[in-house]
Structure 1
Amino acid sequence: MKPGQYNIPPQGPPQAGQYGAPPPQAGQYGAPQYGAPGQYQPPLGPPQAGQYGAPPQAGQYGAPPQAGQYGAPPQAGQYGAPPQAGQYGAPPQAGQYGAPPQAGQYGAPPGQYGAPGQYGAPPQAGQYGAPPGQYGAPGQYGAPPQAGQYGAPPQAGQYVPQPQYGAPQAGQYGAPNQYGAPKAGQYGAPPPQAIQYGAPKPPSMGGVSLVKFFDHVRNHYARDYTLVIDKSGSMSGSLWKQAETAVAKIAPFACQADPDGINIYFFSSPSSRHPKYENIRDANTVMGLFAREKPSGTTDLYGVLNQAINDHFAKGNKPETILVITDGIPNSESDVKKLIISTTKKLPRDEDLSISFIQIGTDRSAAKFLKKLDDDLKKQGARFDIVDTCTLEEMKHLTFEQLIDKSIYD
């Protein structure tokens, strides 16, 4: 190019060797000669096993321990391995001992209920513990009484019993006891006592039967108390003295139970009216009666019982306990049996009248007769068993006075 001429730039891309051209290709002048001896050749791909940088192989230093080698995690069943389900130390499964209680099981947190019928389930309507006012189905607990059941209001046309005699008066059967709330063994105290229908007979005292008269007196039942005393000729002498002493002991206790005072009948030979003394309240009066009455004649037990029973019904069937003291068989055994059987058929309740017989003396025929009164009358048609007895053999060789001591004082 001559001086002064315009420098025209070369046309096209720079050629090899010119400024700005790409680096020389392999084989061209200036290109690096790779692969020549002594020169570094870069590795092609990842390092192969055994080359520097390759991961260590199993068994080489640095390789992870294989199963069974030192440092390897314990396998199932080896020492140190976590216990499997069911092995000792494994957490208990549901239902096993030690597992947390499931909903509805005993020990589950309060408020978590099981299915209906399971433990912990809220009480269903009609079950015990259900909110009041929720009734079960008819016949279930809590259901309102159905028509005709106990507690249901009477239906139209049904009979509703009404009291026949009005409210009981003081001293009558069913009236409150005058000595305060009934004590154990008194009328009105649960469970049913000796004077109620179906109750067991009075208790015994060391083998000696406690007749109802003594049981009623010692427990202060609000009743009338009556003594019927045999003064026939066979009662003369020691037997009369025994009867006198025994009655003197009985009277104070009987008067405490009977605020109106006791009644006393004496009987011997048949009479239109045997001697009767009413409203006796102290033992001194009783002793005076024994001084007035003298033993003689026969044994009209039927006549005096008939008189006492008629007086009982004349008073309106007020509950009464009668004690008969006798030493021999009556003039007519059959009449006595028939009288007692017919009397039971007039009584609304067996507790309305009780007759206790005590044998005094050693007449075995009398003991046999009294046992028949005690044991056989229901078989012969009596509605209730209103008779009980204590005979010579049942006294276990006690005197009448000793029997009273055991019956009332013990």
Structure 2
Amino acid sequence: MTEEAILQDRDYTVIIARSPGNDRPTSPEFKHAWEQARSRLLALCRQCAELDPDCLSLYNAAVPNSSVANPVSCASEAEIIALLDSYDPNQAIALEETVKLALDNYFTRKANGQTKVNGEIILVILDREPQNRVKLIKLLVEATQKMETQEELGITFIQVGDDALTRGFLKSLDDDLARAGARLDIADTQSMDELASGSLTDVLMGAIYD
């Protein structure tokens, strides 16, 4: 099967976890990193929307009081841009809860025969590590145990900025998920340098075949 065929007839979900950065002295660096990454991230979201023209799902993981908001179904480019550009120091990140919502949504639709033939790709755009590493790893491991094939579901975590703790966590997530009990390699990770230097198709294929 060609790359084009693998990426088509598939649902796409984008989760944006832009932290307020107000609890770190490097908060201006976070803001600058998102500004620098904006055009490439928007291009990636556009490609996902083209591959999933009927309904690209968009989640905001930065919400008031850590209460996860419902996804924007069939998100428009304007809604994607607004979320990439949004910055509210009063918001908190609920990354693990948001990933759980997206995974639950996929497996519920799968059980009801509502997923597309090739499955789904989830892109998680974040600038810092999750508050509860163990919870996120457990979610991914449990997801692999519900999968039937490697190709049906892939998740790529894309780091904005160069926070060292986040980079270290994502590297371990990419390399060591099997040691945590994952049955399949569901997670891929990308830095902004990698995203900028590679093709968007390669980024999406990496979600499936890391």
Question: In structure 1, the residue corresponding to 2:139 is in which secondary structure?
Answer: helix
Q: Which amino acid aligns with 2:72?
A: Y
Pair 1:227 & 2:14 matched: yes
Q: What is the Cα deviation at residue 362 of structure 1?
A: 1.2
Which residue number corresponds to residue 376 of structure 1? Answer: 176
Q: Which amino acid aligns with 1:245?
A: S
- Aligned equivalent of 2:130, options 316, 320, 330: 330
Number of aligned residue pairs: give it: 187
Which residue number corresponds to residue 261 of structure 1? Answer: 55
Distance change >3 Å, CA 246–CA 309, structure 1 → 2: same
Q: Which amino acid aligns with 2:176?
A: D
Which residue number corresponds to residue 276 of structure 1? Answer: 71
Retained in 1: the 8 A contact 2:141–2:183? yes
Correspondences of 1:138-157 after superposition (within 5 Å): none
- Aligned equivalent of 1:294, options 79, 87, 99: 87
Q: What is the Cα deviation at residue 369 of structure 1?
A: 0.3
Retained in 2: the 8 A contact 1:231–1:295? no
Retained in 1: the 8 A contact 2:66–2:92? no
For 2:79 and 2:11, the matched residues in 1 are separated by 18
Q: What is the Cα deviation at residue 243 of structure 1?
A: 4.5
Question: In structure 2, the residue corresponding to 1:302 is in which secondary structure?
Answer: helix
Aligned-pair identity in percent equals 30
Question: In structure 2, the residue corresponding to 1:378 is in which secondary structure?
Answer: helix
Q: Which amino acid aligns with 2:169?
A: F
**Which structure: greater helix fraction?**
2
Correspondences of 1:1-20 after superposition (within 5 Å): none
Q: What is the Cα deviation at residue 295 of structure 1?
A: 3.8
TM-score using structure 1 length: 0.42
Question: In structure 2, the residue corresponding to 1:370 is in which secondary structure?
Answer: helix
Distance change >3 Å, CA 301–CA 284, structure 1 → 2: closer
Distance change >3 Å, CA 266–CA 243, structure 1 → 2: farther
**Which structure: greater strand fraction?**
2
CA-to-aligned-CA distance 1:107-141 (integer Å, 9 cap, x gap): xxxxxxxxxxxxxxxxxxxxxxxxxxxxxxxxxxx
For 1:288 and 1:373, the matched residues in 2 are separated by 29
- Aligned equivalent of 1:363, options 163, 179, 183: 163
Correspondences of 1:146-295 after superposition (within 5 Å): 184-187=2-5, 216=7, 221-234=8-21, 237-268=31-62, 271-281=66-76, 283-290=77-84, 293-295=86-88
Retained in 2: the 8 A contact 1:226–1:264? yes
Q: Which amino acid aligns with 2:66?
A: S
Pair 1:389 & 2:189 matched: yes
Q: What is the Cα deviation at residue 409 of structure 1?
A: 8.5
Retained in 1: the 8 A contact 2:55–2:73? yes
Retained in 2: the 8 A contact 1:299–1:329? no
Q: What is the Cα deviation at residue 241 of structure 1?
A: 2.4
For 1:377 and 1:327, the matched residues in 2 are separated by 20
Q: What is the Cα deviation at residue 274 of structure 1?
A: 2.7
TM-score using structure 2 length: 0.77
Which residue number corresponds to residue 407 of structure 1? Answer: 199
Question: In structure 1, the residue corresponding to 2:177 is in which secondary structure?
Answer: coil
For 1:381 and 1:409, the matched residues in 2 are separated by 29
For 2:185 and 2:81, the matched residues in 1 are separated by 33
Distance change >3 Å, CA 272–CA 237, structure 1 → 2: closer
Q: What is the Cα deviation at residue 325 of structure 1?
A: 0.9
Retained in 2: the 8 A contact 1:298–1:331? no
Unpaired segments ≥5 residues, structure 1? 1-181, 188-194, 196-215
Retained in 1: the 8 A contact 2:155–2:188? yes
CA RMSD of superposed structures (Å): 2.6
Retained in 1: the 8 A contact 2:141–2:182? yes
Retained in 1: the 8 A contact 2:125–2:157? yes
- Aligned equivalent of 1:306, options 100, 118, 122: 100
Retained in 2: the 8 A contact 1:229–1:266? yes
- Aligned equivalent of 1:345, options 123, 145, 149: 145
Retained in 2: the 8 A contact 1:325–1:358? yes
Unpaired segments ≥5 residues, structure 2? 22-26, 203-210
